[in-house]
Amino acid sequence: MTTSHYIAGRWVEGQGSDCISISDPALGLPFAELKAASVAQVDQAVAAARDALPTWKKVSASTRAAFLRGFAEQLGQRREALITLQMRNNGKPRHEAEIDLDDAVATFAYYAELAEQLPSRNRDVPLAAAGFTARTRLEPVGVVGLIVPWNFPLVTSAWKLAPALAAGCTVVLKPSEVTPLIEQTYGQIADTLGLPAGVLNIVNGKAETGAALSSHNGLDKLSFTGSNSVGSQVMRSASAQCRPVTLELGGKSAIVVFDDCDPDQAVEWIVAGITWNAGQMCSATSRLLVQDGIADVLLPRLQAALKKLRVGNPLTEQVDMGPLTSQAQWLKVASYFATAREEGLQCLAGGQALEREGWFVSPTLYADVPKDSRLWTEEIFGPVLCARRFATEAQAIAEANDSRFGLVATVCSADLERAERVADALEVGHVWINSVQAVFVETSWGGTKGSGIGRELGPWGLSAYQSVKHVTQCLG
């Protein structure tokens, strides 16, 4: 692939020093290659977005909505190709890749509706003082840089692109170098729809490209999803410009199972929370808190369920879980298996890499994990579940909240009043009660503490790309 960057409405060849190798994780082999963008090309992309901004932000809300619906329709028309690419480059099972595609389509459709409502959100403000009138205006924040991760490509970019375009912003999108191919689709769709040149720009690359974008003085805002280590660098870059940021970072989330819960149903929720996308989710519920009264029944059933999961190549096998997406992540998860052995943790399932081609590990369960274990406190980003027992509701809440992260949590209980009470007490951004991790575009996404700054999705996602202007007039 030579023309892998979309700048000012044209596909151009990369001029950077890095060469990006794109792999099929089920085979552990590369299948595509592209040349990274240079720093100069990042400058060109930002300049193109800056040039396009004055016209794009004046485009009518209904016109922007029509473009967003066009993105949704075009994604649907490319359905099978995009699902296959998610399976091949990410290692996702088909049912997960299908949900990813549906999520992206729903996001563009939802923000098309919100875009149409924008004129009605500019309104008069009642004042207590006589002799003055006031009104609010919601305006696009400007040129935004979007940096997205490798675990949910297409989806995370939709969560950022759709509200940014709806608000009237112009964007420069930097996909992950691990999974850059699927985001090319957005440039192709922009061409098909006739999106004005410069409204959407896509630059691919590694750390050099990301650093050039995050530190660029031509941006008005930066939205980043990824690791805490990179997020802190992004925040430092933004601080030099006093530039607003949205950061969606890591998690070490808890799933709390009370003893009145049906154990088989609980197992279903627990397994989904740790093995979806092979556990490569910031929202993975990797800390299991199980009440004493159900632990001896639940843990053996959970152990059996994890051992029964079909792990393999989603393109050639019927699987429940695919490989880890990159060799680097495979090595990281393997290092935690070694740490678990060093710490003497009790392994009930998995705990090892699979002896086959590709970057596969087994779904893993450790029991009675100490609170000071690295596996209990650190984000692993793999299908590794650590369990601890608790006696009381207060203890469960305290242990669930005892984390530097605060992204999500799940509560499992037949007592809905208790479940609601516990949900209200948890220091996180999103809680599920008796459910798998169903994420809807109408709800918010984001966390507390070390899990980030700001919210995506819902009306909050649109507000993240808007600035508020008040106009006050003296009538005297």
248 as an active site residue: the answer is: yes
Single-letter residue type at 299: L
CA end-to-end span of the chain, whole Å? 65
Task: State how far the Cα of 180 lies from the Cα of 202, in Å rounded to an integer.
Answer: 10
CB 99 within 8 A of CB 107: no
Are 4 and 204 a contacting pair, CB within 8 Å?
yes
CB 138 within 8 A of CB 471: no
Q: Report how far residue 274's alpha carbon sits from residue 380's, in angstroms, rounded to the nearest whole number.
A: 11
CB-side neighbour CA atoms (13 Å) of 456: 30
Question: H helices within 354-402, ranges in order?
Answer: 374-377, 393-401
Structure tokens at 165: 């375009």
Catalytic residue (one of 169, 282, 386, 412): 282
Which strand ranges, in their side-by-side order, compose the sheet holding 254-257? 346-349, 364-367, 384-390, 287-291, 254-257, 408-412, 430-433
Spell out the residues 6+ positions from residue 336 whose beta carbon is closer than 8 angstroms to its own: 374, 375, 378, 380, 382, 384
DSSP for 192-229, please give it: HHTPPTTSEEE---SHHHHHHHHT-TT-SEEEEES-HH
Nearest residue to 306 via CA among 356, 253, 381, 362: 362
185: left (phi over 0), alpha (psi -120 to 50) or beta: alpha
Alpha helices in 33-170 (DSSP H): 39-56, 61-77, 79-85, 94-116, 118-121, 155-167
Q: Tell how strand 245-248 and strand 221-225 pair up.
A: parallel
Please answer whether residues 52 and 110 qualify as being in contact, where contact means their C-beta atoms are separated by less than 8 angstroms: no
Is there a catalytic annotation at residue 474? no
Catalytic residue among 96, 116, 177, 248: 248
Residues 6+ apart with CB under 8 A from 165: 64, 67, 68, 111, 171, 199, 200
Catalytic site residues?
A: 248, 282
